[in-house]
Chain A
Amino acid sequence: MGLTVQSTGSWVLDNPLQIIKSSPDEKIIALAGNPNVGKSTVFNGLTGMRQHTGNWPGKTVSIAQGRLTHKGTRFILVDIPGTYSLMANSVEEEAARDFICFGNPDAVIVVADATCLERNLNLILQILEVTPRVAVCVNLMDEARRKKISISLERLSQQLGVPVAGTSARNGKGLDELMDRVLSVISGKVVTNPPVIRYHEAVESAVSILEGPLKHILNGRINPRWTALRLLEGDKKLLGALRDYLGFDPLGDRTVAESLEKARKNLLAAGITPELFRDVIVSGIVKKAEQISRSAVTFERADYNIRDRKIDRILMSRIYGIPIMIGLLGVILWITIAGANYPSSLLAEGLFWIEDRLTDLFLLLGAPNWLHGLLVEGMYRTLAWVVSVMLPPMAIFFPLFTLLEDLGYLPRVAFNLDNFFKKACAHGKQALTMCMGFGCNAAGIVGCRIIDSPRERLVAIITNNFVPCNGRFPTLIAIITMFFAGMFHGPFQTVVSALMLTGLIVLGVVMTLLISRILSKTILKGLPSSFTLELPPYRRPQIGRIIVRSVFDRTLFVLGRAVMVAAPAGLIIWLMANVHVSGMSLLSHCAGFLDPFARLFGMDGYIIMAFILGFPANETVIPILIMSYMAEGSMMEFESLAMLRELLAANGWTWLTAVCVMLFSIMHWPCSTTCLTIRKETGSWKWALVSFLVPTVTGFLTCFAVAGIVRILGLA
Chain B
Amino acid sequence: MKCESFTDIHGKRMPLNHLPAGRKGRVRALTADGSSRRRMLDLGLIWDTEVEALQKSPSGDPVAYLVRGAVIALRSEEASKIIIEAI
Contacts and interface: CB of A to CB of B under 8 A. Distances in A.
Interface of A: 84-85, 87, 89, 115-119, 122, 275, 278-279, 282-283, 286-287, 289-290, 308-309, 312-313, 316-319, 321-322, 415-416, 418-420, 422, 428, 452, 528, 530-537
Q: Secondary structure at chain B's binding surface: helix, strand, loop or mixed?
A: mixed
A422 B79 CA distance: 15
B45 to A, nearest CB: 9
Q: Which of A116, A290, A312, A532 has the most CB of B within 10 A?
A: A532
A289 B78 CA distance: 24
Given A317-B58, A418-B61, A530-B36, A279 B73 contact: no
Given A275-B33, A279-B46, A419-B60, 15 more contacts: A119-B70, A279-B30, A283-B47, A286-B44, A287-B46, A312-B55, A317-B58, A321-B57, A415-B57, A415-B64, A416-B58, A418-B61, A530-B78, A531-B78, A532-B39
Contacts of B59: 419-420
A319 B55 CA distance: 13
A87 B38 contact: yes
Contacts of A286: 41, 44, 46, 49
Contact of A533 (B33, B44, B55, B62): B62
A530 B71 contact: no
Given A84-B43, A278-B38, A286-B46, A533 B57 contact: no
Nearest to A86: B42
Contacts of B58: 316-319, 321-322, 416, 419
Nearest to A453: B35
Interface of B: 30, 32-33, 35-36, 38-44, 46-47, 49, 54-62, 64, 68-75, 77-78
Given A418-B75, A530-B78, A532-B73, A278 B55 contact: no
A428 B75 contact: yes
B61 A533 contact: no
A419 B62 contact: yes
Q: Which of A116, A275, A289, A535 has the most CB of B within 10 A?
A: A535
A532 B56 contact: no
B31 to A, nearest CB: 12
A122 B38 CA distance: 13
B58 to A, nearest CB: 4
Contacts of B75: 418, 422, 428, 528, 530-531
User: 10 nearest interchain CB pairs?
Assistant: A419-B59, A321-B58, A282-B41, A530-B36, A535-B71, A533-B73, A85-B42, A283-B46, A84-B42, A116-B69
B41 A278 contact: yes
Contacts of B71: 308, 312, 534-537
Contacts of A531: 39, 75, 78
A459 B63 CA distance: 24
Nearest to B63: A415
Contacts of B33: 275
A232 to B, nearest CB: 16
Q: Secondary structure at chain A's binding surface: helix, strand, loop or mixed?
A: helix
Contacts of A283: 46-47
Contact of A535 (B40, B43, B64): B64
B52 to A, nearest CB: 10
A503 B46 CA distance: 45
20 contacts: A116-B69, A119-B69, A122-B42, A278-B38, A278-B41, A282-B42, A308-B71, A316-B55, A415-B57, A416-B58, A418-B62, A419-B59, A419-B60, A428-B73, A428-B75, A530-B35, A530-B39, A530-B75, A532-B73, A534-B73
Contacts of B56: 318
B33 to A, nearest CB: 7
Contacts of B61: 418-419, 422
B55 to A, nearest CB: 6
Nearest to B62: A418
Given A312-B64, A419-B59, A535 B44 contact: no
A84 B57 CA distance: 24
A415 B74 CA distance: 9
B42 A87 contact: yes
A399 to B, nearest CB: 27
A308 B78 CA distance: 24
A709 B27 CA distance: 57
A364 to B, nearest CB: 66
A418 B44 contact: no
B46 A415 contact: no
Contacts of A122: 42, 44
B40 to A, nearest CB: 8
B60 to A, nearest CB: 7
A278 B42 CA distance: 11
A89 B42 contact: yes
A534 B42 contact: no
Contacts of A312: 54-55, 64, 71
Contacts of B44: 118-119, 122, 286, 289
A321 B62 CA distance: 13
Given A278-B38, A309-B54, A321-B57, A428 B72 contact: no
B55 A313 contact: yes
B57 A316 contact: yes
Contacts of A316: 55, 57-58, 64
A532 B42 CA distance: 11
A419 B72 contact: no
A452 B30 CA distance: 21
Nearest to A126: B42
B54 A418 contact: no
